[in-house]
Structure formats: C-alpha cells, structure tokens
Amino acid sequence: MSQLPAAASDDVQARVEQICQYARHAARALAAAPRQVKDAALHAMADALVGASARIVQANAADLDRGRETGMKTSLLDRLALDHERIEGIAAALRELAALPDPVGEVVRGQTLPNGLRLRQTRVPMGVVGMIYEARPNVTVDAAGLAIKSGNAVVLRGGSAAASSNEAIVAVLGEALEAQGLPAGLVQSIDAHGRPGAVALMRARGLVDVLIPRGGADLIQTVVRESQVPVIETGVGNCHIYVDASADLEAVVPIVLNAKTQRTGVCNAAETLLVHRELAGELLPRLLAALGESGVTIHADEETARAAAALPGLQLEPATEADWETEYLSLDLAVKLVGSCEEAIEHIRTYSSGHTEVILSQDTAAVRSFTAELGPVAAAVIVNASSRFTDGGQLGLGAEIGISTQKLHARGPMGLAELTTTTWIVEGDGHIRP
Amino acid sequence: MSQLPAAASDDVQARVEQICQYARHAARALAAAPRQVKDAALHAMADALVGASARIVQANAADLDRGRETGMKTSLLDRLALDHERIEGIAAALRELAALPDPVGEVVRGQTLPNGLRLRQTRVPMGVVGMIYEARPNVTVDAAGLAIKSGNAVVLRGGSAAASSNEAIVAVLGEALEAQGLPAGLVQSIDAHGRPGAVALMRARGLVDVLIPRGGADLIQTVVRESQVPVIETGVGNCHIYVDASADLEAVVPIVLNAKTQRTGVCNAAETLLVHRELAGELLPRLLAALGESGVTIHADEETARAAAALPGLQLEPATEADWETEYLSLDLAVKLVGSCEEAIEHIRTYSSGHTEVILSQDTAAVRSFTAELGPVAAAVIVNASSRFTDGGQLGLGAEIGISTQKLHARGPMGLAELTTTTWIVEGDGHIRP
C-alpha cells in the first residue's frame, strides 16, 4: 500500500463512487429497520455461508495456490486457509452478533429542560462504512456482520492474497441479503478495482462516512495520510509492561509470558519491558530465563545485559534506539531497567503508540500516577494483568472491528456502538427561543 | 482562507511546531490536575481580563481603526468592538465555565467482568486543541476557557481583523496562568505567522490532537480538505422546517418567524420552508404575510408564488435549484409546497447540510418517520419547536465550542465532554488471558 497511485483514473473513481452511492441507498433500507430484521439477516448470512462452504473452499483453494506459487510463508497460508470447520466458526460469529443488543436507538443522554423541551441524544447508524484490510477472509464476514447489526452498509477492500475467497464470500452474503428482501448493496467489494480502487475509496468524501484501515503499520499510515474521508486509525501497538519495585513477584512471570508469547503477531502483545532496578538481582534473571525458555530474544540495555550474562543459552542482543520504537510482532522483547515509576512513565510517554500500557505494582501511589499520567497517552492502561486483555471480546464489547489508537470518536477496541453516530431529538410544544 | 499556500515555509513550520510542542508540554501540567486548579485558573483569567480591560480596549481600537480604513461593514465592526462592559461579559462566561462539572474523570462505562477484571472507560483530556476561527475576539477567550476546563492546551489562529485584540487577550491570559503557577503555553496564538502559520498548524500531525475550524463555509471546507490533523467539521446549516398538514396552526407562525428572523447570521437559522399542500389556501398566505412584514424575501416555487400573488408588498423571487442549496444567513427564505411528509423527507435528504431539521406536526406517524429517516442525516431533529434550539447553551451543555455537522466523535453542539477522549482503565489481580 505504500506506493499508491496519486489518484485513481476517472473511470475507476466513477465506478467506486457508483458502488458507494449504491451502498448509501442500501443503507437507507436498514437505518430505521427494527432489530429483528437485522438479526434475521445475520442468521441468513450465517446459514448461507455454511450452505455455500464447498464453493467458498474452492475459491479459497485458488488463493492458496497463488499464495504457494508466490512463496507466501506457511504461517500466512495458514491464516488464509478456509475449510468447512473454519467457515462454521465464521458463521457462528455472525450468530453471536445477532444475539448482541442493538446499538441503534440507544439513548446516550437525555433530559427534560426547565422550559419543557424534551431532549434525547440517540444512536443512529453512520451510513456507509469503508474497510481497507489485509489477508484473512474472516475479516470480510466480521466487517459485514458488524455493519449490518449497526444499521450500516459496508464497502470492502480486502487484501489481494484473499481476492478469490472474498469475492465468493461477498457474493454469498449478497444473495443471502436479497433472499431476506434486503439490498445486496449493503455488502459490496471493490477488490476488482485493485489499488486504484482503494485510492478512489479514500477520495469518496461525502459518500463514505468512515474508513477503517486494518492491517500492518504501513497500510494504516498510508490510509491515514491519504484519505479525504474521515478515518479511524487502528492498531499499531508498541505496548509496554512496567514492573514496579512493589510488584507481586509471583504474578510477574506469568503476566509477562502471557503478554509476550501467547500470540506474537497481534497489536496487544508486549514489546518493551521496563523493570525497576531494585528487582535486578532476583526477579530479573528469573524473568529473563523464563522468557528465554519460551524462545524470546531479549534486546537488552546494558544493565539488563549484565544481569543476563550468567544465563546460559539466552538469546541476547544489545538494545538500540530502534528497539524502543519497534512493534516486533515476533518473539522479541526490548528490556530496560528504570530507577522509578516516573522514569518508566517518561520512557513510555516518549515511545508509546497509544495502544496499551501495563503496570505491575502493589503500590497505590505508583498505580495512581501511572494511570493518571498515561491515561491521556494510551487507549488502555492495565494494572496487574496482561496487555492481551485490550480486545473487544475480552472487554465485554461482544465484537470488534479494530482497535483505535486515535483520540477522536473511538479509543481502544471498537464494537457496535463505535459504528454509530448520535443525533439530538428535541421535542417541544411550539417552543420558540426567547 | 481559500487561497492558502500549499505549504508553510520550513521556518514557519518549525516555529509553529515549536509552539505546539510547548502546548503539548504545558498540557501535561493540566491533564491530571484536580478541578479546583482548573477552576481557580478560570477565575484568575476572568479577573485578569477585567483588570486589563483598558489595555484590551486600546488594542481593540487599533483593530477597529484598521477595519474602518479597509471599509469593514458596520455590522462586522460592531461584532469586533470591545468595551469594558463586553469584557465583563466575556469574563463572566469564564466564571460560568468554572461552575460547570469537570468532564475529566467522568466514567462513561464500567463493569466488573465475570473473571474479576475491573473495567472503567474514563474521560481524559485530548491534549492539544487547535482552533482556526474568524473575527470575534470573544471566541479567543471562550476557546481558552473550554480548553483549560477540559484539561487541554489550545493553539489559536484568529482572524486577522482581530489580530491586535487577540494578541492583547492571549498575553493577559498567559500572565494570569503563570500567576497561578501554570504554564502560559496552555494558551498560545500563532496569529503572528499569518496564513502560512495556519497551514503549518494543519500539518502538525502528532502535535495537535484535534483542529476545530469555526467561521464561514469557505474557511471550514478549506480546513477539512487540507488538514492532516484530525478535524471536527462545524457549522454550515442549511436548516429546513417542514409544516405538516396536521401542524398546530397557532404554533406555525411564531416558530417560523423565530427560526428565520431572531438572528439571521447563525447556523441554526431556518433557510428553507416546506409546507404541506393542504395548507396552501389558508395558512400559507398568513405565514408569508407575517414573514414579509418581518422583512423576509421569499424565494418561492411556482405554487408558493401563486399563493403569494395576492399579498401586497411581499418581496418575492422565483426559487432556482441554487436556492434549495443555499445557507442564506440573511432575511431570505426558500419556500416550497410538498404533497406529503415523505416528499419533505426526500427534499431534506437531498439538500440537508446535516445540521438541524424541524417538523411541525401533530401526527405521531409523521413525526416518527421524520425523526427515524432524518436522524442519521442531521445532527438534530426538532419537533414542534424552533431550529434555534440547536445550541450548546439551549440544550443544557453549559458551553459550546462549535456545532459539529460531521458524524465522527461529536455531532451537534460540542461542549466540554467533546473536548475529551476516553481511556480504558483495567485492573486485575495477576490476570492472564486464557
């Protein structure tokens, strides 16, 4: 995505805008639809995916063949692969969405004013949601399901690696919607228009209400920089764990291992560990040894390197400035000793990507200052638990379309409510302004 | 603002970024400050303005002289003028802000999960708010006060017509903050850097958290199009009033007069009137006569023109396509007859600027369909009351920095809460993700 054409051709721009117009029109059918209409559509979409699983698996096989030919890594091939069981899982996620409360119509604030005006600020759909994302075809279904449940239409631009799978999935979903009497325009793909199509989507101001990029840092930054449509920036997580001198030492090793190694390619994995100097003698070697046994390479500052010198077989590299800035997304961890909670806060303030920052501490003053100082810096501040909890499912949102690292509109995991906007409904009895 | 330089010179860019960095640093002093610190600062700012009113009036006189020399209209000169009494009024607004609840620390959502994790989503300051605005120097003080109360720093770019007044005001506010032990960097101006300074502010991504343009449509569209910093679009209001066949006829004339004539230069004034055809015989002539007596020029569709033909002295012009699109901001009103509530909704859907739409009706089905269909379209839908109620003060927000017509983050009047973001605070007891 980093070498995008400066503009789409007029032809592609016009075709993408036509798709967006169709989505806009389709969204009207859903905006005021009662919950049962949306939930029935989600169940129909789930049924259709399972029913068409042979067709989808066949399309997926074409993507996998192309992937193997172009030398795609085994781990990526695995993420791309669909079989009947995975399709059942994807369909189950749609049924779970159907079971969630309807975000539309929720009254966020309301009151009757002294002059008798009755106010309520109510959630309404955005209209048209654009998604630009990479690889995994399950994102196609998740995005479609979240959009439908929140009363929106979605225009999808998936990764080219999953083009055949996505095409089949979007066709199946469109058929399911039409069978329910809803327009297929609610879920559309612009994959056929390649990168110029993505550029056209970013230029479709007034037709797309919000554009959500989901994928690597390069994709996200390109969209944030180039888009004329309002964007929600997602996902880069240079997450820190600070182990305070007062930490519950029994809890430290399990939490750090969980945060670093449970899944490495995700934005809520830990990337830098800051340890209070008082723990250098006893806890630090134990922690480094445990990380080493899990296959983690330590990028150590000088003091950490000295503490680690006695540990046999530990993968150790000297940390450079780049290490403090890097979201490894791999079994690598930068480690640094600090002299105080304040020093940890300063380091994090400098290098945070605004995602998740963790403190392990039993000291209320340290916890208070960490949360107060870093709350404005990060979307989530976690106390005595793993960074891996910054996730829509884990935080009880029920579903997630991405994790916002920006400050406007949504911050942290974005669920159904974040795909809505609000309107003020004001009811009077002939009121005029004095 | 429409002919902006493509980029600020490196020098201006560097100086504006330095100002933003200073603001960023200053904001840290306020982010975790308790309410009494912020309220004391607001009172000190109010006292300082009143105390320095002679100095401010003198600076303002220089702006007024320049305005007269360049042929500024009397109405604009009046809006620009400051005297001791107006400064007292501006200071009083700061004291009213101090009396409002602190938006920072408010818990928006929270729960204890089944696994024992304690969650709360809490309001925190944005950091640095940028404002680009026109003419009136009271906006300088309002923006500074709203920023301080919400724990933010503000970087101001005011209209050149008020440059001397704004310079004096910002200096006085800075001195007041410093006397309170707070950094003057909390309230800064980049007026000295002219238009290249405004461009530099729009390019200061990562240093400015949100940029709010406030002024005419041209200013707002330029900022929305050019800014690389997240923007909240404000204020264009092509507001409609639909008079349904079932309307309470006694209420119609006072509401329409109030919406059109109470103040004409504001975004919540009515610009188009849609009247149900059943009311063409009796109500319409009465309504048009009342508007005519108030000096309103009617831009009429053919049917309205026929109904108005018998009215002596009415200023009447045939409506063209441009009239349906225009925010007049003057004593002009476009008038069209429609055959149904659905037809009114379609017209509004086509021409709405997303601000405020009004229905006057006693029919619950019409009201329900108007609010359901147009809620996603407009920031406010008003039933049986004047469009002039779309205002932070009128809707009980206590203060207002602008009226958002976009769907992301804030929609409608923006008060203190809209100048904050949220963070998730997650507290565990050694929790790891299973």
- pLDDT per position as a tens digit, B249-274: 999 999 999 999 999 988 999 999 99
Identify all chain A residues contacting B395, using CB atoms and an 8 Å cutoff.
113, 119, 424, 426
ipTM, two decimals: 0.91
Residue of A nearest to B119 (CA): A395
Which CATH number belongs to the domain containing residue B324 in this structure? Answer: 3.40.309.10
Q: Is A430 on the interface with B (CB under 8 A)?
A: yes
- pLDDT per position as a tens digit, A379-420: 999 999 999 999 998 998 887 888 999 899 999 999 999 999
- pLDDT per position as a tens digit, B86-114: 999 999 999 999 999 999 999 999 999 99
In a domain, B129, yes or no: yes
In a domain, B207, yes or no: yes
- pLDDT per position as a tens digit, A46-64: 999 999 999 999 999 999 9
User: Are B269 and B289 in the same domain?
Assistant: yes
User: Are B142 and B14 in the same domain?
Assistant: yes
Distance, CA of A74 to CA of A326 (rounded, Å): 24
> B351: distance to nearest CA of chain A, Å?
13
Contact B389 A210 (CB under 8 A): no
How high is the pLDDT of residue B357?
Answer: 98
pLDDT classification of A135: cutoffs 50, 70, 90? low
pLDDT classification of A4: cutoffs 50, 70, 90? low
Q: At what angle do helices B84-99 and B138-149 cross, to 10 degrees?
A: 20
- pLDDT per position as a tens digit, A200-236: 999 998 899 999 998 888 888 889 888 888 888 887 8
Identify all chain B residues contacting A119, using CB atoms and an 8 Å cutoff.
395-396
In a domain, A189, yes or no: yes
User: Are A243 and A229 in the same domain?
Assistant: no
**Both tokens assigned to A331:** 């079994």
How high is the pLDDT of residue B6?
Answer: 57
In a domain, B406, yes or no: no
**Taking the mean position of all CA atoms in its chain, how far away is CA A72?**
23
How high is the pLDDT of residue A7?
Answer: 65
Distance, CA of A209 to CA of B358 (rounded, Å): 23
User: Are A108 and A148 in the same domain?
Assistant: yes
Identify all chain B residues contacting A413, using CB atoms and an 8 Å cutoff.
424
In a domain, B408, yes or no: no
Per the structure, the count of domains in chain B is 2
User: Are A121 and A207 in the same domain?
Assistant: yes
**Dihedral sign from CA coordinates of B417, B421, B422, B423:** negative
Which CATH number belongs to the domain containing residue A26 in this structure? Answer: 3.40.605.10
Low-confidence stretches of chain B (pLDDT beneath 50): 1-3
In a domain, A404, yes or no: no
How high is the pLDDT of residue A324?
Answer: 98
What value does the mean pLDDT take over residues A280-306? Answer: 96
Q: Which of residues 362-401 of A touch B (CB under 8 A)?
A: 371-373, 375-376, 378-386, 388-390, 394-396
How high is the pLDDT of residue B1?
Answer: 47
Range(s) of the domain holding residue A139: 10-233+413-425
**Dihedral sign from CA coordinates of B369, B373, B377, B379:** positive
User: Are A225 and A343 in the same domain?
Assistant: no
User: Are B189 and B260 in the same domain?
Assistant: no
How high is the pLDDT of residue B4?
Answer: 55
User: Are A154 and A47 in the same domain?
Assistant: yes
Q: Is B32 on the interface with A (CB under 8 A)?
A: yes
Tell me whether strands A356-360 and A187-189 are parallel, antiparallel or unpaired: unpaired
Q: Is A427 on the interface with B (CB under 8 A)?
A: yes
User: Are B287 and B193 in the same domain?
Assistant: no
Query: Could you give the 3-state DSSP secondary structure of residue B431?
Result: strand
- pLDDT per position as a tens digit, B171-187: 999 999 999 999 999 99
In a domain, B297, yes or no: yes
pLDDT classification of A309: cutoffs 50, 70, 90? confident
- pLDDT per position as a tens digit, A321-377: 999 999 999 999 999 999 999 999 999 999 999 999 999 999 999 999 999 999 999
- pLDDT per position as a tens digit, A10-26: 899 999 999 999 999 99
User: Are A78 and A101 in the same domain?
Assistant: yes
User: Are B225 and B97 in the same domain?
Assistant: yes
Contact B388 A232 (CB under 8 A): no
- pLDDT per position as a tens digit, A368-381: 999 999 999 999 99
How high is the pLDDT of residue B7?
Answer: 65
pLDDT classification of A5: cutoffs 50, 70, 90? low
In a domain, B349, yes or no: yes
Q: Is the pLDDT of residue A138 over 70?
A: yes
What value does the mean pLDDT take over residues A188-203? Answer: 94
